[in-house]
Amino acid sequence: MGLAVSDGPLAEPLRVIRYSDTRVVAEQIKKIIEEEKIKKVIVGISEGEMGKESQNFSKNFSEMIKIPVETSDETLSTQEAQILSREAGIHQKKRHEMEDAYAACIMLQNYLDFSS
């Protein structure tokens, strides 16, 4: 799961969390929210079965934390992240390690651009 943050109009990649249990990742994200003093969470929703899982995660997660949780379309954010990171000359290993965070950054930036 890729994470990105914003403290103003620009999003930036934060990190990638590898997980097998959504409850564990939810606790990790909750800690990050507290550490970073995050005021709103945007969950990317894709298409198909993964989109349903993301929607369920969003609902369950919003009950767990005390800040607003919204959803945003993340369709094609991974492909866009791959293209942009190649164009930026980011080394292949780094691109692979951070791909989900770059995609989260693009999704968050789109949200910021179109919600203001």
Q: What is the pLDDT of residues 36-74, one digit of tens each?
A: 999 999 999 888 888 888 888 888 888 888 899 999 888
Interval 5-31 mean pLDDT: 92
pLDDT at 116: 63
Beta carbons of 61 and 37 less than 8 angstroms apart: no
Question: Closest Cα to residue 78, out of 93, 109, 100, 97?
Answer: 100
pLDDT at 60: 84
In the predicted structure, residue 12 carries a pLDDT above the cut 80: yes
Question: Closest Cα to residue 71, out of 50, 49, 47, 54?
Answer: 54
Interval 105-110 mean pLDDT: 93
Between the ranges 29-38, 43-52, 75-84, where is the mean pLDDT highest? 29-38
- How many H-runs (helices) and E-runs (strands) does the chain carry? 4, 4
What are the structural domains of the chain? 2-115 (3.30.420.140)
